[in-house]
Amino acid sequence: MRKAAFSLCFLLFSGAVLAAQQYDLVIEGGRVMDPETGLDAVRNVGIRDGKITRVSVEPLSGLRVIHAAGFVVAPGFIDLHQHGQELASQRVKAFDGVTSALEMEIGVPDVALFLKSKEGHSLIHYGTTASHAAARALVFGTPLEPEIIAPNAGIPDILPKSGPATNQPATPEQIGHIQQRLRDELDAGALGIGMGIQYTPGATRLEVIDMFRLAAERKVPVYTHIRSFGRSEPGSAIESVEEVIGAAAITGASLHIVHINSTCLLDSLECLSLIEGARARGLDVTTEAYPYIAGMTVLNSALFNPGWREKLGIEYSGLVLPDTGEHLTKERFEELHNSPKPQSVLVFANTQEMVDATIPNPLVMIASDGAPGHPRNAGTYSRVLAQYVREKKTLTLMEALRKMTLMPAQMLERSTPAARHKGRLQEGADADVVVFDPQTIGDRSTFEKPMEPSVGVHYLLVGGTVLIDDGKMAPDVFPGQAVLGAGRAK
Binding residues (CB under 5 A) for Zn ion: these are 225
Nearer to Zn ion, 62 or 84 (CB): 84
What are the respective helix, strand and coil percentages of the chain, to the nearest 5? 35, 25, 40
Instruction: Please state whether beta strands 222-225 and 255-257 pair in parallel, antiparallel, or not at all (unpaired).
Output: parallel
How many Cβ atoms from other residues are within 10 Å of residue 336's Cβ? Answer: 19
Closest to Zn ion by CB, 44 vs 301, is 301
CB of 131 to Zn ion, least distance (A): 13
Strand 344-348 and strand 294-298: pairing?
antiparallel
Q: How far apart are CA 372 and CA 323, in angstroms?
A: 10
Tell me which residue has its CB nearest to Zn ion: 225
Q: How far apart are the first and last CA of the chain?
A: 57
Shortest distance (Å) from residue 345 CB to Zn ion: 13
H or E element in which residue 111 lies: helix 111-118
Residue 81: CB minimum distance to Zn ion, A? 8
Q: How far apart are CA 279 and CA 263, in angstroms?
A: 20
Smallest separation, CB 83 to Zn ion (Å)? 9
Taking the least distance from each CB to Zn ion, the nearer of 298 and 435 is: 298
Is 247 or 298 the residue whose CB approaches Zn ion more closely?
A: 298
Q: Which is nearer to Zn ion, 136 or 225 (CB)?
A: 225
CB of 263 to Zn ion, least distance (A): 7
Least distance CB 290 / Zn ion (angstroms): 10
Nearest residue (CB) to Zn ion, 104 versus 123: 104
Assign residue 316 a region: left if phi > 0, alpha if psi is -120 to 50, beta otherwise? Answer: alpha
Please, are residues 100 and 423 in contact by the beta-carbon 8 Å criterion?
Answer: no
CA distance 220 to 127: 14
